[in-house]
Amino acid sequence: MASASVGGRHTIDTLAAKMSSPECLNDFASCRSVLSKVMTLSANHANLTPLLPSAVKLLAHSDMCIKKMAGHILIQYGANDPEMILLAINTLLKDCQESNPMLRGLALKTLCALQQESILEFADKALKKALSDKSSYVRRAAVIGSVKVFHFCSSYIRDGHIIDQLYSMIRDPDPLVVVNCISALEEILHDEGGIVLNKNIAHHLLNRVKDFPTWSQANILMVLKKYTPSSDDEVFDIMNLVDPFLKHNSCTVVCFCLELFLHIVSPMPHLQSEICRRGKEAIVSHLGSGNIELIYSVVDFLSSLSKMHLQVFCSDYQSFFCRYKEPPYLKMKKMKFLPVLLNQNNEQAILDELSLHCKDGCKEVSKCAVDALATISRSHQHLNQSCLEKFQVLLESSSSQVVSNVLQVLQMVPLKDQDRIKDIILILGSIHRTVKDDSGTIALLHLLGEYGQHAEDVPYILEDFVDRLEEIDNPDLKEQLLNTVIKVFFSRPGETQSILGSLLEACISDSNRALRDRAKFYYSLLETDVVYAKSVICGLDPE
């Protein structure tokens, strides 16, 4: 309601009258004040189409700021009145001929952003001339303008030899013009795979990359991955040119440089570890910077490398440990990465670090730490027992959240040691009432179904669940309970027959159709042939 009243018809008409008044045209301060109110209305999404005639007049103003704001109005609302755009063309084309490069650049930006078919023929000469303008500012504006025109009319850029001109401008003396050209070609040629680098262009960029600003250096190094050297000698020439950037003070530059190195030496795997070793110090140093976003980006970049490349980082595993004040998303990123660094020298320290965070107050962080332990358990068989011992300790935690997380992971970990299984099942018997969330309870029931034959108390735990069936609202939980009870029935029929009967009866009359159908299916299988039912439900060969 507020924005509607601010942008009311009366207010806009008043502003239009003020913008057209001689006082506004002659007094810079008054004109800027009026346009400031117009910009506020624009930010509040008011329809400022009635102001277009006044904006067209102000395009001819001598003040740069006023010209810019008038151009903004024309760009934002010109599509509502194309005739106003035609009236503004002469002023814009005149400004494109001005001696002041700032005026030429601003006029070209406005002209290319209008996105009207009627202006393309007028923009043609202005854009092509600006691409070879003596001012680097105007050339930069022209390159960006070509992308704007491309998004409105791609055929104009493709058929007008603009692409060839952009390629030739990669040799422009101004570094920002070069970077703009590369970015423009990447966007314009996106459907064709982006810019194409031949040997001449690649080596020209390699020889000039040191002259670019830091963010541009990263951009150039990223694009250079598109080029593949033709010989080993060329590989070493490129490495000599780019090697200083492995010690750059910008982490972004170091990372892109490392990626470029790994790309060009891909046929020489024996060099890859040495390359990672050379860039390691600069990368690891940023992990202690305290800059959360930077640390996240570093870990994310390293996560994209292969395990072979990461071996050189194993000795710096402590740099990837979580700190107390770090946000959850960074802790989780680090914990997902830590298992990759695990080796014989640091395995115990990493296991202890992950175990510590399994008890984190944040549920997501705790779950991530438990998942990381499970990953280690699966990928390093000799640590399987150590991980299970830690899981066993965590199951006795007073935190329902921690217990639930461990249960959800344990259902994905194959348990082979029967003594360990019995110990875990015994713990489950004592904690089954303390698990509060449905995900944890479903995981607990799954474990009981898979390993229930190894502990005597399992039928009585299941009986407790069946007795409380009316308290369960989640149909997935009921379905898991049914699956568990019927699996335990096949190994302990005498103790679970009555429990199964009560549960089947309750599920067949349940309001959930999927649960009813499953219960009826199980009942028909059991009624037909118990042995065959066991083979179907448990996935075993019939005896």
228 located within any domain = no
514 located within any domain = yes
501 located within any domain = yes
Of residues 28 and 125, more confidently modeled: 125
> Percentage helix, strand, coil, to 5, in the chain?
80, 0, 20
Q: Within a 10 A sphere around the Cβ of 339, how many other Cβ atoms? A: 21
449 located within any domain = yes
Q: State the pLDDT at residue 6.
A: 43
The tens digit of pLDDT for each residue in 304-335 reads 988 888 888 999 999 999 988 899 999 999 99
538 located within any domain = yes
The tens digit of pLDDT for each residue in 355-387 reads 999 988 888 999 999 999 999 988 888 888 888
Alpha helices in 265-362 (DSSP H): 272-285, 292-303, 307-310, 328-341, 347-357
Q: State the pLDDT at residue 24.
A: 65
457 located within any domain = yes
382, burial (CB in 10 Å: exposed 0-12, middle 13-18, buried 19+): exposed
Q: 2 pLDDT exceeds 50?
A: no
User: pLDDT exceeding 90 applies to what percent of the chain?
Assistant: 33
The tens digit of pLDDT for each residue in 462-506 reads 888 898 888 888 999 999 999 999 998 988 888 888 999 999 999
Task: Please give the single-letter amino acid code of residue 456.
Answer: E
What's the rounded Cα separation, in Å, for the pair 172 and 166?
Answer: 10
Query: Measured at the alpha carbon of residue 530, what is the angle toward residues 525 and 532, in degrees to the nearest 5?
Result: 75
The arithmetic mean of pLDDT across residues 418-446, rounded, is: 81
Whether residue 104 contacts residue 96, with contact meaning beta carbons closer than 8 Å, is answered with yes
Residues in the chain: 543
Question: For the chain, what is the domain count?
Answer: 1
The tens digit of pLDDT for each residue in 5-53 reads 444 555 777 777 777 666 666 666 777 777 788 788 777 777 778 878 8
Q: Is the dihedral of CA 446, 447, 448, 453 positive or negative?
A: positive
Question: What are the distances in angstroms from CA 326 to CA 31, 46, 48, 403, 472?
Answer: 50, 42, 47, 24, 38
Contacts with 134 (C-beta within 8 Å, 6 or more apart), sequence order: none
Q: In the predicted model, what is the mean pLDDT of the chain?
A: 86
530 located within any domain = yes
Question: What are the distances in angstroms from CA 523 to CA 511, 531, 534?
Answer: 17, 13, 12
Q: State the pLDDT at residue 117.
A: 76
Q: State the pLDDT at residue 3.
A: 41
Instruction: Please identify which residue in the block is written with the tokens 């063309």.
Output: 89
SS3 category, 501: helix
Task: Please give the residue range of the domain that contains residue 463.
Answer: 417-543
Confidence of residue 120 (pLDDT cuts 50, 70, 90): confident
Q: State the pLDDT at residue 1.
A: 34
430 located within any domain = yes
